Structures are given as C-alpha cells and as structure tokens.
Structure 1
C-alpha cells in the first residue's frame, strides 16, 4: 500500500501517514494478541491522529 500511495501522491503527503503505523499496530495487537488498551495508549492515538490531521491541513 505504501508504494501504491507513493505512485499516486507526493512523497511529502504520504510521509505524514507513517506516524499512524504505531496507532494501527496497537489496534491490531488488541484484536490479534489480546493486548490491553490503556488510557495512555488511547490518548497517544488521539494525539497522533490530531497531529496527522493538522499536518495534512496546513
């Protein structure tokens, strides 16, 4: 998916989304490995998504 995104968008836009990898990894670990989702992880995910959103906007 990464290379497909690079084919269609500028690298500067695609690079922002690399910061979402830990967020999605935590979600997959919850479902696949029964990892615990703590308040700190939730807050970190929210801040990460907010940061990507703000970087994409401006």
Structure 2
C-alpha cells in the first residue's frame, strides 16, 4: 500500500470505519489500497483491478 495516512489510524476518531478499510487493504496485499471517507464512517478499498469497495455504517433506522 503506497498511501500514507495522516493522522495515524486510530488517532483521528476513537472508532473509525476508515481504519478498518485501511487495515483490510494492508492485509490483502501491496496491490490493494484504501482511503478514508467522510468523518471516519466510510472507507474505500481499491482492488488491484481498479474496482472500489465502499464500507460504511448503516443505522438501524435506515435498514429496510
């Protein structure tokens, strides 16, 4: 992963989904990348083929 994240994971928000995305990309290998979304509640994982997977928080009120 080539992206340097500032501030360091875990220091911007107490619990951030973007930190989970970043860790997942790191575990998947060097050709995977990630970036944080808004307010730490979303994160994007970029695959080696150029696809993007977005992970986020869904509240119970918005689930159908």
Range class of TM-score, shorter chain: 0.3 to 0.5
Larger Cα-atom Rg: 1
Q: TM-score, normalised by structure 2?
A: 0.33
For CA contacts below 8 A with separation 6 or more, give which structure has more relative contact order. 1
Q: Which has the higher strand share?
A: 2
Alignment TM-score, normalising by the size of structure 1: 0.35
Hey, which of these two has a bigger chunk of helix by percent? 1
